[in-house]
Amino acid sequence: MSARRIETIPELRLAVAEARPLGPIGLVPTMGALHAGHAELIRRASQECGFVVASIFVNPTQFDRTEDFQRYPRTLAADLEFCAAHGAAVVFAPDAAEMYPGPPLTFVEAPTLAEKLCGEFRPGHFRGVATVVAKLFNIVQPDRAYFGEKDAQQLAIIRQMTADLDFPIVIVPIPTVREPDGLAMSSRNRLLSPAERRIAPALYQALLAARSRVAAGATSAAEVREAALAALAPHKAVRVEYLEIVDPALMRPVERIAAPVLAAAAVWLGAVRLIDNVFCEPPRH
Amino acid sequence: MSARRIETIPELRLAVAEARPLGPIGLVPTMGALHAGHAELIRRASQECGFVVASIFVNPTQFDRTEDFQRYPRTLAADLEFCAAHGAAVVFAPDAAEMYPGPPLTFVEAPTLAEKLCGEFRPGHFRGVATVVAKLFNIVQPDRAYFGEKDAQQLAIIRQMTADLDFPIVIVPIPTVREPDGLAMSSRNRLLSPAERRIAPALYQALLAARSRVAAGATSAAEVREAALAALAPHKAVRVEYLEIVDPALMRPVERIAAPVLAAAAVWLGAVRLIDNVFCEPPRH
C-alpha cells in the first residue's frame, strides 16, 4: 500500500484541516531516499499524533554544490510505500515550482549556530534548511515535528528557530539509528563503494573514543579531539573535514569540558561526505 | 472603556483559540502611540474579522539608534482606550523579556527588498521588523493582518515574507491617513516643534510633484526625482535622507518609468525623521 501522495500546498492544507479533529498533527520533513532512521521518525510520529504528514522534497536551496543535488538519491515510489508501512497518512511531495514559484527573497537564519561545523564548509546550507523548514511549518502547521539527532547542527538550528520565532510546535529529537557495525543510517550511504562502506564505521568509532575520554574525566577539548583524530588516522582513505567538541545548543567549539558536549565530525570517503555525532557526558562527582 | 490587555504569549494564545469559532482573527501590529492611521487599521480589521488583536510592542531589535528607541513615544493607557473605541477585542502588550526571553539568534530577512531606501540608512531595521512580525504571526496565527501603506518598504517586505514563507495570512494594506495639510499621520509627528510642524507638509508636496510628472508622461526617473527635490529645495530646514523612484514590489530604484512606481522619501526636520510615499501611475495610452 502507498501513502496518499499530495503535490500542492492547497490540497495539503485541506487534508490537514480535515484531519485536525483526529488529534495532533505530526510532521516528518525528509528529502526522501528513506531508510531505517526515517522509519523511526515516522513510527514515533504515528504513536504520538492522530495524523502524520511525511514531506519528501529535495530542497535545492540547501545544496551548496550542484553535483551533490543532482547525485542525491531519489526513490519516490519506494518511499511512498515505506511511509505508509510506518504510519504516515500523507506524503507531501511538491516539485520545486510549488515550493518556489518565484525567486526566493526571504531567508531564515541562525548565524551563530550555523557558523561552525557543517555551516563552515557548506555556505548557505543551513539558511536553506531553516527557510524550507519554516515554509513546511507554515504549510502543515503541525503540533509536533520530528528530526533525527544524526543531523545535530540542523536539529539545534530548528530548535532555536522554533523557540525564537514562537512556532507553536514541539520539536521531537529522535536518536540516530545505526547499522550493526555502527555506521549511522544515511541516504548517502548507498553512494559508498563496497571498500568505502567497510571503512565507514571508523567515523563512529572515532567519536566513541572521544566519548570514552570525556567519560573518563578528560576536561581538555583539544585532548579529546586528538584522541578521536588518532582513531581515524590509520584509515588513509578517510579525509576529515572537521571534528569538533561543541556545546550541544549553540554548536560552537568549547575549550574546557564542564558539561555535556557533542563530538561531531564530517569526513569524506572518496566523493561521499558522511557526518555523525555522539553525546559525551563528563563523569558525575 | 479599555480593551483587554494581555501581556503573556500563553494567555494571548488561549484568548485567540477561544475566539477562533467567532470568525476570522485579525492582527494589527503597532508600536503604540496610536493615531488616526492606526484607527483605520483597527476599524478595517474589525469590519472584516470576528476578533481583532492589536499588538503594542516597541520592538528594540528594529531600532538602529538607541536614542530613537528611548525617545519613541509611549502612551499605553490612552492606547488601550483607543483600541477598544475602534474595535479591537484585545491588546497584546508584552514586555521585551516576554518577546525575547534569551538573546535572539534567529533572523528573518529579505535583503533584496531591504537594501535601498530606509534599509540603506537604518542597518538591521528591516531584519528586526521581519523577525518580530514573523513572531507575532506565529503567536497570534491571524487570518488577516493589517499594515499601513505609509511604511511602504515594510509593507513590501511583509508581503514578500508572507508569500515566501507560506504564512496562511492575508496581508491587507491600508492607505495612508493624512492631516488636513497633507502630512502623513505618524507617531513621530508629536516630536516636531511648532515651526517644524509647519514645514513638514513639504514632504508630501514634493512627492505629489513627482506624481504629477509621472502622470504627465515623464519616463525618466531622474527627471521625476529632480522635480520632487526641486519642490523641497526652498525649505532649508528639510534635510533629505533619500528620495527615490522605485519598483513598488522590490523597492529598488528604476531608471525608466514604464509601469506604476512609488515615489518614496525620508527627510529630517531637526532631530525628527519623517517618511512618506505616493503611488505614481503613468498615463494610459
The 10s digit of each residue's pLDDT in A39-61 is 999 999 999 999 999 999 999 99
Distance of CA A91 to the CA centre of its chain: 18
Chain A residues near residue B106 by CB distance under 8 angstroms: 108-110, 130, 160-161, 164-165
What 3-state class would DSSP assign to B276? strand
CA dihedral B43, B44, B50, B55 (to 10 degrees): -70
DSSP letters spanning A101-152: SS----EEE-HHHHSSTHHHHSTTHHHHHHHHHHHHHHHH--SEEEEETTSH
Q: CA–CA distance from A262 to each of A122, A123, A246, A277 (Å)?
A: 20, 22, 5, 6
The B90-92 sheet, strands edge to edge: B4-6, B90-92, B51-56, B25-30, B144-148, B170-174
Q: Is residue B255 a contact partner of residue B263, using CB atoms and an 8 Å limit? A: no
Q: Do B130 and A106 make contact, defined as CB atoms within 8 angstroms?
A: yes
From A119, A102, A47, select the one nearest A264 (Cα to Cα): A119
Q: How far from A15 is each of A198, B24, B234, CA to CA, in Å?
A: 44, 20, 62
Give the closest of A111, A141, A165 to B134, CB-based. Answer: A165
Can you tell me the mean pLDDT for B250-255? 98
Closest chain B C-alpha to A181 CA, distance in angstroms? 38
pLDDT tens-digit readout, B30-63: 999 999 999 999 999 999 999 999 999 999 999 9
The C-alpha atoms of residue B29 and residue B27 are separated, in whole angstroms, by 6
Taking the alpha carbons at both ends of chain A, their separation in whole angstroms is 53
**Which of B20, B99, B126, B138 to probe the A interface (max A CBs under 10 A)?**
B138
- Residue in B9, B130, B163 nearest the CB of A166: B9
Measured distance CA(A283)–CA(A102) in Å, rounded: 53
In the three-class reduction of DSSP (H, G, I as helix; E, B as strand; rest coil), residue A180 is classed as coil
Q: Which of A59, A166, A247 to mutate to test the interface with B (most CBs of B within 10 A)?
A: A166
**Alpha helix positions (H), chain A:** 9-19, 36-48, 66-71, 76-86, 96-99, 111-114, 118-121, 125-140, 152-164, 194-199, 202-215, 221-232
Q: What is the mean pLDDT of residues A241-262?
A: 98
Helix, strand, coil % over all residues of chain B, rounded to 5: 45, 20, 35
Order of strands, sheet of A272-280, starting from the edge strand that comes earlier in the sequence: A238-246, A261-269, A272-280
- pLDDT band of residue B3 (cuts 50, 70, 90) is confident
What is the spatial distance between Cα A74 and Cα A71, in angstroms, rounded to a whole number? 9
User: B113 CB near a chain A CB, below 8 Å?
Assistant: yes
CA B121 to chain centre: 16
Ramachandran angles phi, psi of A71, nearest 5°: -75, -15
Candidates A155, A208, A156; CA nearest to A178 is A208
Mean pLDDT of B258-283: 97
* Chain B environment of A105 (Cβ under 8 Å): 110-113, 160, 164
The mean pLDDT value for B176-199 works out to 96
Q: Check B131 against A168: CB less than 8 A apart.
A: no
**CB-based contact (8 Å) between B206 and chain A?**
no
Query: Touching check for B154 and chain A: CB below 8 Å?
Result: no
pLDDT for position A3: 84
Question: Spelled out in words, what is the top-level CATH class assigned to the domain B4-174?
Answer: alpha beta
pLDDT class of B1 with cuts at 50, 70, 90: confident
Q: Point out which residues pair with A277 in neighbouring strands.
A: A264
How would you write B216-263 as a 3-class SS string?
CCCCEHHHHHHHHHHHHCCCCCEEEEEEEEECCCCCCECCECCCCEEE
Choose among B187, B31, B162: nearest CA to B94: B31
> Which residues from B are below 8 Å from A110, CB to CB?
105-107
pLDDT number for residue A14? 98
From the list A108, A113, A167, which residue is nearest B108 (CB)?
A108
pLDDT range class, residue B252, cuts 50, 70, 90: very high
Pull the grid cell for residue B129. 521588523
Model pLDDT, residue A58: 97
Q: What would the pLDDT profile of A50-101 be if each residue is shown by its tens digit?
A: 999 999 999 999 998 998 899 999 999 999 999 999 999 999 999 999 999 9
pLDDT category of residue A1 using cuts at 50, 70 and 90 = confident
Asked if B133 has any chain A CB less than 8 Å from its own CB, the reply is: no
B166 touches chain A (CB under 8 A): yes
For B139, counting Cβ atoms within 10 Å of its Cβ (0-12 exposed, 13-18 middle, 19+ buried), the class is buried
| Domain B187-276 part of CATH 3.30.1300.10 | yes
Across the strands, what pairs with B22? Answer: none
Q: How far is CA A12 from CA A16, A39, B250, in A?
A: 6, 22, 30
Question: pTM score, two decimals?
Answer: 0.97
The one-character DSSP state at B284 is P
Q: Which pLDDT score, from 0 to 100, does residue A185 have?
A: 97
Q: Does A123 touch chain B (CB under 8 A)?
A: no
Classify the phi-psi angles of A244: left when phi > 0, otherwise alpha if psi is within -120 to 50, otherwise beta.
beta
The pLDDT tens digits of the residues spanning B214-224 come to 999 999 999 99
Residues B54-97 pLDDT 10s:
999 999 999 989 988 999 999 999 999 999 999 999 999 999 99
Report d(CA B72, CA B188) in Å as an integer. 7
8 Å CB contact between B128 and B110: no
Q: How distant is the Cα of A218 from the closest Cα of chain B, in angstroms?
A: 30
Instruction: Label residue B69 exposed, middle or buried (CB < 10 Å: 0-12, 13-18, 19+).
Output: middle
Q: Give whole-number Cα distances, B179 to A149, B43, B147, B185, B200, in Å.
A: 58, 18, 19, 6, 11
Rounded to the nearest integer, the mean pLDDT of chain B is 97
Inter-chain residue contact A134 with B165, CB threshold 8 Å = yes
Annotation says B38 is catalytic: yes
Which residues, 6 or more positions from B146, have their beta carbon under 8 angstroms from its beta carbon? B26, B27, B28, B41, B42, B44, B45, B172, B174
Report domain extents, chain B: 4-174, 187-276
pLDDT attached to residue A19: 97
- Return the percentage of chain B with pLDDT > 70, whole number: 100
**In chain A, % of residues over pLDDT 70:** 100
Residue A266, pLDDT score: 98
CA atoms within 13 A on the CB side of A271: 8
Candidates 1.10.3720.10, 3.30.1300.10, 3.80.10.10, 2.50.20.10; CATH matching A187-279: 3.30.1300.10
Determine the Cα–Cα distance for residues A216 and A205; give it in Å rounded to an integer.
Answer: 16
What's the rounded Cα separation, in Å, for the pair B51 and B21? 10
Residues in chain A: 285
The three grid cell numbers given for residue B159, joined into one nine-digit string: 508581503
